Structures are given as structure tokens and as C-alpha cells.
């Protein structure tokens, strides 16, 4: 499908093995290479930590303070990883976390009777980046559960999103499945905060939307830096899938400037023409990479529909109406 060549070229950079081994996952090597060093404790051992040194560590430790479900006891010391040391824990998978401005990770092992459990709590800094990270590693086919804002289960795993946190739990041994559920509920209650997806997603058309397809792209949507950041939602019409991308500018002038850059890109690589049926400034464009697109602005948003179906004009206009 040539219309989404750039998207898949971008997403293939995210494709690595999942951290818990049994699931496939989208991970990236989009940006941020360089020398990375482990976060050191006062003793020089990066696997353990001294007493909490800052508010972020204290906040994370409070989420795992006693009492815990199943009378779980911590095994060894907690470990913290920052942007400079995350690769030591998830070598080959850290880049995408850094892409979403990862702040700090708390890693802790627990034991409860015959069950063993590992908790990884990623502080992503804000709900939007936490959602972006979570959404990059999920797939519509997963078994979703009502943990936090949303979560999903796998064999011996439970993952959920809530507020600025992306939480991953893994368990093994007898009763571990029940313990995963109990830990998820306890952590969700302690996290509190935002329990909804980014509000913009609720404003986009619901009809024919592919559930659990929503994404937040912080860098280079469709390979274009000028479209950052953007939200993406998939729509299905029969066997045809379309992608609705909403690029968020600072103001209406910024959105129009993005549309002008997009039109220029298509004029240089294919063709672009006015589409007044979409509204003032709307365009129809195509090339051999992105395929066909419809685009227009609404306030500070640039709305782009890739591989538009027969009712593509209505989808774009409906999205614009919702964003007013």
C-alpha cells in the first residue's frame, strides 16, 4: 500500500522484540543515539540505589510502599534508571522511550508465597507522552482489560496506562495471575490522576474507527518534522483502511503554515490541487509514497486523511467540526 509507505518505513524502525519476550512490539531507533551511562549510586553500583535523592524517586517509591497485595515482600533493593541508563535494562528498546521523553523507571522484584512478580513503573513526564509510549506497544488484537485508563493482559504479564505512568507487571508461579490483578488495582488507586485518553481523541469521528488504533506521534509523523506532534486514528471501510492524522500547531497561523509545507511537499513529489469541498484552504494531493490524501486546517489543527475512502470528505469535515 503505497499510501502509507512513509508510515511503515517509520514504524519499522520501532520493530524490536518485546520486553517480556512472548509478544511482538513496536520499538524504535528513530532518534537519540550516543553514549549512555548507567545511573550510579553512591557506592558506584547502578543496579541498586541510595536513599531517594529527588521527588521523582520518592513519588515512585510511595507507589510500592507497604502494605502490598498478597503480603508481597520486596526482593533486593529497588533500581532506578534514567534516560542515560535505561538501555542497561532494555538494551535495544530504550530509544523509543527516549523519543517520548522518558523521565525515570522504578524496577522492583517481589515475592508472595509461591508467586514472583516484577514491577516496572515508567514515569513519562506527562499523560500525552505516557499514552504515546503505551500506544506504540499495543495492538488492536490484544486482550484489553479495564485497568487504569486502559490495559491489556498476556501470559504472565499485565500492562496499563494511567496519568503520566506506563506500568508493566510480570509474574510467575502459582497464584501469580491473581497477584498481577491485585497489584494493578492497588497501583492504579495510588496513582490516581488522569484516567482518560487525551481529550483530542474523543473529538474525532467514532463511526468506523478501529478500536485501540489511536496513536500519539511526538516526532516526525509521516517522516515530516513539521507535522510534529500529531495524533493518528485508523478507520476501516470494508477492506479499506484510512489513517486520520491531526497535527497540532501552536495557533491557526501555525496550522496554515504546516498545510502550506504539506502542499509544497506534494507539488514537488507528485501533485496537489485545491479542494474547496473540504473547506477554505483544503487540498487534494497524491504521490507515489503517501498515496492520496485530503487535508485542511481547523483552528490550530491540520487534519490529514490518508488513503481516503469514498466518504473521505465527510470524515475530514466531521473531524474539523469536532475540533472546533
pLDDT tens sequence for the chain (324 residues): 433 433 433 443 333 333 333 333 333 333 333 333 333 333 333 333 444 458 899 999 999 999 999 999 999 899 999 999 999 999 889 999 999 999 999 999 999 999 999 999 999 999 999 999 999 999 999 999 999 999 999 999 999 999 999 999 999 998 899 999 999 999 999 999 989 999 999 999 999 999 999 999 999 999 999 999 999 999 998 889 999 999 999 999 999 999 999 999 999 999 999 999 999 899 999 999 999 999 999 999 999 999 999 999 999 999 999 999
How many Å apart are CA 268 and CA 287, to the nearest integer?
9
Q: Which domains, from first to last, does the chain contain?
A: 2-34+46-191 (3.40.1000), 199-322 (3.40.1000.20)
Q: Which of 194, 256, 181, 193 is nearest to 226 (CA)?
A: 256
How many Å apart are CA 263 and CA 255, to the nearest integer?
12
How many Å apart are CA 193 and CA 182, to the nearest integer?
19
Phi, psi for residue 270 in degrees, rounded to 5: -165, -110
Q: What's this model's pTM, rounded to 2 decimal places?
A: 0.81
Contact yes or no for 115/175 (Cβ under 8 A): yes
Amino acid at each position: 500500500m503505497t499510501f502509507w509507505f512513509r508510515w511503515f518505513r517509520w514504524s519499522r524502525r520501532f520493530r524490536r522484540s518485546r520486553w517480556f519476550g512472548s509478544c511482538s512490539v513496536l520499538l524504535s531507533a528513530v532518534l537519540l543515539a550516543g553514549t549512555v551511562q548507567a545511573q550510579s549510586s553512591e557506592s558506584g553500583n547502578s543496579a541498586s540505589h541510595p536513599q531517594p535523592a529527588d521527588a521523582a524517586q520518592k513519588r515512585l517509591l510511595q507507589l510500592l510502599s507497604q502494605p502490598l497485595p498478597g503480603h508481597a515482600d520486596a526482593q533486593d533493593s529497588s533500581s532506578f534508571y534514567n534516560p542515560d541508563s535505561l538501555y542497561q535494562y532494555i538494551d535495544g528498546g530504550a530509544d523509543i522511550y527516549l523519543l517520548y521523553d522518558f523521565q525515570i523507571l522504578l524496577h522492583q522484584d517481589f515475592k508472595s508465597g509461591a508467586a514472583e512478580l516484577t514491577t516496572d513503573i515508567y514515569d513519562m513526564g506527562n499523560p500525552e507522552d505516557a499514552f504515546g509510549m503505551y500506544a506504540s506497544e499495543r495492538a488492536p488484537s490484544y486482550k484489553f482489560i479495564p485497568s487504569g485508563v486502559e490495559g491489556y493482559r498476556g501470559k504472565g504479564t499485565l500492562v496499563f496506562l494511567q496519568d503520566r505512568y506506563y506500568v508493566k507487571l510480570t509474574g510467575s508461579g502459582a497464584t501469580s495471575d491473581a497477584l498481577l490483578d491485585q497489584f494493578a488495582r492497588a497501583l492504579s488507586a495510588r496513582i490516581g490522576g488522569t484516567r482518560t485518553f487525551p481529550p483530542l481523541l474523543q473529538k474525532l469521528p467514532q463511526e468506523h474507527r478501529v478500536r485501540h488504533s489511536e496513536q500519539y506521534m511526538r516526532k516526525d509523523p509521516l517522516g515530516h518534522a513539521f507535522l510534529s506532534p500529531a495524533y493518528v486514528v485508523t478507520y476501516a471501510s470494508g477492506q479499506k483502511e484510512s489513517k486520520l492524522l491531526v497535527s497540532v500547531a501552536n495557533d491557526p497561523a501555525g496550522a496554515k503554515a504546516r498545510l502550506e509545507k504539506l502542499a509544497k511537499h506534494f507539488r514537488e513529489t507528485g501533485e496537489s490541487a485545491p479542494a474547496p469541498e473540504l473547506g477554505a484552504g483544503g487540498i487534494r494531493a497524491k504521490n507515489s509514497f503517501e498515496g492520496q490524501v485530503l487535508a485542511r486546517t481547523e483552528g490550530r489543527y491540520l487534519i490529514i486523511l490518508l488513503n481516503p475512502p469514498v466518504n473521505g470528505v465527510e470524515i475530514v469535515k466531521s473531524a474539523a467540526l469536532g475540533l472546533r
